[in-house]
Structure 1
Amino acid sequence: MQDLMRNVSNSYKNFSSGQKKIGDLFFKEPIFLAFSSALEVGRKVNVSESTVIRWSQKLGYRGYAEFQHVLQRKLAEERIEQVEESETPPAVEQSFFANLLDADIASITQLKQTMDEDQLLQAIDVIGQARNIYVTSNFFDYGLAHFMTSWLNLTLDHAELLMQGDGQYYRQVSDLNSEDTLIAFVFPRYTKSVIDTLQTVKDQGTKIILITDSADSPAVAYADISLEVFVNSNLNIDSYTAVHALIASIMRFIYVKEHAKVKSNLAKVEEIYMKKEIFI
């Protein structure tokens, strides 16, 4: 952490007046910079988001995200050292844990403030009208895609997971047309395979609902509807808390809009649960 502080201190004389405000905030509240977006940092000191990004680049980083990852790692290392030296390590660990949770809370708050609800409602309509629903993702986001597919298949009974490498992939792709809908989870790091899938099904007229991290995502060009949700990286570990919150909201909207169908399908499954005495 000390080397990072020296870097900011040595660069301070070369900062613009706005960048000096960010430098001052860094020395006062490094944790705020570690777990807040460039936009949030800029708002706190009354400068633009681009000023925050240029400030991090002046320190030698490619952008604010890279600087933030380094800062998070440095803070974590510092906390670990404090734990090793402290006689009361639980308090230190809890403080860092609280910071991580605060970052997730901030991500959900950002989703609440930035989500285009009209786009979200359009997505619900498209899902409800689809002949078949397919869900795909980068391999990093496989868990999100699998979870969403399982729930959609349980409630609407015509959803399939579409992943390159699966033996059914090309059969599924060949069957896609304009009556179908593809839901795609595309978060960094973006893979060539998921972009290839989007391009292929787009050429076949399939409607694409994209869930991604920003308007700069390479997948946006193929989307009919794009839902953007911020993914917070803490210590280079992506937190999908806000993405799960969005998925839960989509599920609830579908439950309300397609209530009769969902209720009927869930009742059939519940009957099997009871017959087989699945639950204690």
Structure 2
Amino acid sequence: MQDLLRSVSDAYKGFSTGQKKVGDLFFREPIFLAFSSALEVGRRVNVSESTVIRWTQKLGYKGYAEFQQVVQRKLAEERFEQAEQKTLEPNADQSFLENLLDAEITSIIKLKQSMNEDDLLQAVDLISSAKHLYIASDFFDYGLAHWFSGWLDMAIGSTEMIYPADGHYYSQLSKIGPGDTLIAFVFPRYTRMVVETVQSAKERGAKVILLTDSLESPALASADITIKVSLNTNLNIDSYTAVHALLTSIMRFVYVKEHAKVKENLARIEAVYKEKNIFY
């Protein structure tokens, strides 16, 4: 990205007054040009769409579309370079989308390299032996936690979400005790509500399986088993691809360990689906 910024800086003196406005916007907000049309860029700095297009041509590009593709690729490369412990390098010959998808692959490779299978097996044992399972999460990952909770309830039963925004929360909390297991999703941005739920469950004698991104997680002290899985963040958007892969692995381990029970429960549900003619 720095080389592109330098090329714009070197050409700056030759820009018209309107083109300098576009250049100034590029220095301030390159991401805006990467994902906005030439018309939107022109409106942002009060110049015409044609001025924006001529500005890119002044830089040696055929038009705005070609320039925008280069900016997208440069931004992607910059993000990848900043990523910690990267295992795949961005390919300059790939599109922006291809580099983003490579980042998702990288997040799963990192999980594979860092995953402690003993921790995973211990977590599956706690899930299988629990009298009752509770799933807690922050609101950012509520959807993923809800999906996981739904599958566990179908497969082995006695599973429910516990969420402070629900008035049922305090009734659920009062019932948690020895023999129960809480699975907590604690990822940035960490919220007090989920950390306090983890602490309360631990104080009441339940076992806690913590899924988190860091060994500095605020819920770590209350966990019996901690499984670390990193989020992939690009352009300020968190991707839970690796978390999803981890949950799928847990589900498959549970299926193998409790095969007869899971098979029976899923067959019962399928019978209801068929009775109610749910699917085409």
Q: TM-score, normalised by structure 2?
A: 0.71
2:130 equivalent in structure 1: 130
The answer for unaligned runs of 5 or more in structure 2 is 7-27, 37-55, 74-93
Counterparts in 2 of 1:76 and 1:108: CA distance versus 1, 3 Å: farther
Q: Deviations over 1:152-192 (max 9, x none)?
A: 01111110100002111111110111110000001000001
Q: Which amino acid aligns with 2:122?
A: Q
Q: Distance in 2 between matches of 1:178 and 1:3?
A: 60
Q: Distance in 1 between matches of 2:233 and 2:129?
A: 35
**Is residue 200 of structure 1 aligned with residue 200 of structure 2?**
yes
1:62-77 to 2 correspondences below 5 Å:
76-77=31-32
The number of aligned residues is: 214
Q: Deviations over 1:21-50 (max 9, x none)?
A: xxxxxxxxxxxxxxxxxxxxxxxxxxxxxx
**Is residue 274 of structure 1 aligned with residue 253 of structure 2?**
no
1:172-211 to 2 correspondences below 5 Å:
172-211=172-211
2:139 equivalent in structure 1: 139
**Is residue 243 of structure 1 aligned with residue 243 of structure 2?**
yes
Q: Which amino acid aligns with 1:140?
A: F
Alignment RMSD:
2.6
CA contact (8 A) 2:209 2:224 kept: yes
Q: Distance in 2 between matches of 1:75 and 1:132?
A: 51
Q: Which amino acid aligns with 2:230?
A: F
Q: TM-score, normalised by structure 1?
A: 0.71
Counterparts in 2 of 1:90 and 1:78: CA distance versus 1, 3 Å: closer
Q: Distance in 2 between matches of 1:75 and 1:253?
A: 45
Equivalent pairs: percent with the same residue? 55
Q: Which amino acid aligns with 1:187?
A: F
2:47 equivalent in structure 1: none
Secondary structure of the structure 2 residue equivalent to 1:164: coil
1:64 equivalent in structure 2: none
1:152-191 to 2 correspondences below 5 Å:
152-191=152-191
Q: Distance in 2 between matches of 1:80 and 1:174?
A: 49
Bigger helix fraction: 1
Secondary structure of the structure 1 residue equivalent to 2:141: helix
CA contact (8 A) 1:135 1:161 kept: yes
CA contact (8 A) 1:79 1:96 kept: no
Counterparts in 2 of 1:74 and 1:233: CA distance versus 1, 3 Å: farther
Q: Distance in 2 between matches of 1:246 and 1:75?
A: 35
Secondary structure of the structure 1 residue equivalent to 2:238: strand
**Is residue 226 of structure 1 aligned with residue 226 of structure 2?**
yes
- The CA deviation at 1:76 is 4.4
Q: Which amino acid aligns with 1:246?
A: L
- The CA deviation at 1:79 is 3.9
1:86 equivalent in structure 2: 65
Q: Distance in 1 between matches of 2:227 and 2:264?
A: 29
The answer for unaligned runs of 5 or more in structure 1 is 7-72
1:214 equivalent in structure 2: 214
Q: Which amino acid aligns with 1:188?
A: P
- The CA deviation at 1:219 is 1.2
CA contact (8 A) 2:230 2:242 kept: yes
2:100 equivalent in structure 1: 100
Q: Distance in 2 between matches of 1:260 and 1:145?
A: 25
- The CA deviation at 1:142 is 0.5
Q: Deviations over 1:231-251 (max 9, x none)?
A: 011111000000000000000
Counterparts in 2 of 1:185 and 1:154: CA distance versus 1, 3 Å: same
Q: Distance in 1 between matches of 2:207 and 2:4?
A: 47
CA contact (8 A) 1:144 1:185 kept: no
- The CA deviation at 1:263 is 0.3
Q: Which amino acid aligns with 1:183?
A: I
